[in-house]
Structures are given as structure tokens and as C-alpha cells.
């Protein structure tokens, strides 16, 4: 049993799992480092505090260590581990009287509110341009290092932290951690459609916040445009 084995380096989960089964602590360290950030984000959808989320993640890794020999690899390691996490997080949430399946959280956040302030558009009964921009988005000043340079980064992070839990979790997994839509839908047990609705709400709010930060909008002078057209038809300006 004292065979020399190469140390695990940048391997995929399945290789690391094989190493873990042989008792390699480095394999566990790599799995923990790779997945704990996303695990904390998912746990935070169920429990109210960062400390409680870390507890859930710790419990999850203990359950993974105990159960790894029984893991048959029918689902991916990630799917399996996150199923354990969700169950433990739900149970912890129940202790905090907050046990709500993710799908119910998602539903509660689906208020049917528009993504952009309705005042930004002409009314639906406008005779020429119903629903068109009155205050148009304009180009953001582009810092060379992109959106995440300097103060903008903190502002965006604060905006995401303040989102309702289901929206926050989806945008964090999709856009911050880089998960695919299938992975997110599966881990959170929601439909692809619900996942997109939450992502849309979240990205829209981030967009609104960046726009407000840059003040990048332009008022459209419909008076000028409609005035001309009304003169053509002999009617009065409907505004």
C-alpha cells in the first residue's frame, strides 16, 4: 500500500474522487477549494447568515467523506455533492424556521414587475410610439479593465448582495461562478424557464444600478419628432 503515487494537480472531479477514495488529503483539499464558494452561495439561499452557510458546507463535506465509497458515479460528483448540500441546507433552514424549497423562493420573487422603470417609456396608448423609450440608455464610459475595475466593482458586488435570495443565487452561480444554465437548474431544482426569469431580473437590476452609477441616459425630444408628424396628419400632438 506504500506505492508512490503522483500528487494530484489540476484534475477533473472524477480523478480527484478516485484519489479521495485512496485517502489522499490533497484531493479533498482541491475539491473543497473548487466547490466551497458555490456551495456557500447555494446554502445562503436557505439559511440567513454566512456563518450558518459555512456550517452547512462543512456538514456537506463530512457527508461527502463518509459517503464517497457509496458514490457510484451515475451522476457527476458535482450533482451528487450539491444534492447533499441542498438537503442539509433545507434541514438547517428548517431549524431557523426558514425552510423553503428554492422553487418557492423563486415564485415569491416573480412579481411580474417590469425590468425597467415604466416612466422610461411612452404610454401604451401613445398614438405613434407606444412603449418606446423616452429616456434612452446610452453608452457606458468603458474603463480599460472593464466593468470590474475600481469602484464599479464594489458597487456591482453590493448590488448583487442586496438582490432577493433566488435572483442573487442564480446570477452568482451563472455569471460570477460561470456555471451553465443546466447546472444551475439542476442544482437548484428549478426549470430552465424559471432559471432564465431569475437571471433576467438579476441582470436587469445590475444594469439599472450601473446605469444610475454612470448616469448614462439620454432624454428623447419626441416633441420635435411627433410635432412634425402631427403637422403632416393635421392632428394635435397626442402628448
Q: Which three cell numbers stand for residue 32?
A: 473543497
Interface stretch with another protein, choices 4-12, 80-88, 93-101, 116-124 (CB under 8 A): 116-124
Grid look-up 442544482 returns 187
Q: Which of 189, 211, 213, 230 binds another protein (CB under 8 A)?
A: 211
Neighbours of 134 (CB within 10 A): 17
Q: Which of 100, 196, 213, 238 binds another protein (CB under 8 A)?
A: 196
| 155 contributes a contact to another protein by CB under 8 A | no
Compute the distance between CA of residue 24 and CA of residue 8 in angstroms, rounded to an integer. Answer: 9
CB of 194 closer than 8 Å to CB of 167: no
Q: Which segments within the chain are labelled E, that is strand?
A: 135-137, 217-219
Q: Rounded to the nearest whole angstrom, what is the least distance from the CB of residue 68 to another protein in the complex? A: 10
Could you say which residues in the range 63-82 bind another protein, by CB under 8 A? Answer: 65
Pseudo-torsion of CA 37, 177, 32, 190, nearest 10°?
80
Binding site for another protein (CB under 8 A): 25, 28-29, 32-33, 36-38, 40-41, 54, 57-58, 61-62, 65, 114-116, 118, 120-121, 127-133, 136-140, 146-148, 153, 156-157, 160, 171-172, 175-178, 181, 192-193, 196, 199-200, 203-204, 206-207, 210-211, 220-222, 224-225, 229
Amino acid at each position: 500500500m506504500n506505492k508512490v503515487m503522483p500528487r494530484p494537480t489540476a484534475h477533473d472531479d472524477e480523478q480527484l474522487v478516485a484519489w479521495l477514495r485512496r485517502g489522499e488529503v490533497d484531493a479533498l483539499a482541491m475539491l473543497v477549494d473548487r466547490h466551497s464558494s458555490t456551495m456557500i452561495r447555494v446554502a445562503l439561499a436557505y439559511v440567513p447568515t454566512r456563518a450558518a452557510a459555512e456550517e452547512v458546507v462543512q456538514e456537506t463535506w463530512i457527508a461527502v467523506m463518509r459517503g464517497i465509497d457509496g458514490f457510484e458515479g451515475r451522476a457527476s460528483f458535482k450533482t451528487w455533492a450539491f444534492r447533499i448540500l441542498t438537503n442539509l441546507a433545507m434541514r438547517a433552514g428548517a431549524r431557523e424556521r426558514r425552510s423553503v424549497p428554492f422553487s418557492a423562493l423563486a415564485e415569491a420573487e416573480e412579481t411580474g414587475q417590469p425590468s425597467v422603470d415604466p416612466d422610461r417609456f411612452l404610454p401604451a396608448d401613445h398614438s405613434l410610439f407606444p412603449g418606446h423609450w423616452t429616456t434612452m440608455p446610452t453608452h457606458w464610459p468603458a474603463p480599460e479593465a472593464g466593468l470590474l475595475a475600481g469602484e464599479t466593482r464594489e458597487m456591482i458586488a453590493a448590488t448583487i448582495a442586496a438582490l432577493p435570495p433566488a435572483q442573487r443565487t442564480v446570477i452568482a452561480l451563472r455569471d460570477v461562478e460561470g456555471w451553465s444554465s443546466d447546472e444551475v437548474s439542476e442544482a437548484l431544482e428549478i426549470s430552465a424557464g424559471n432559471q432564465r426569469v431569475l437571471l433576467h431580473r438579476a441582470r436587469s437590476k445590475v444594469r439599472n444600478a450601473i446605469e444610475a452609477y454612470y448616469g448614462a441616459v439620454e432624454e428623447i425630444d419626441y416633441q420635435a419628432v411627433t410635432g412634425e408628424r402631427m403637422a403632416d396628419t393635421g392632428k394635435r400632438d397626442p402628448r
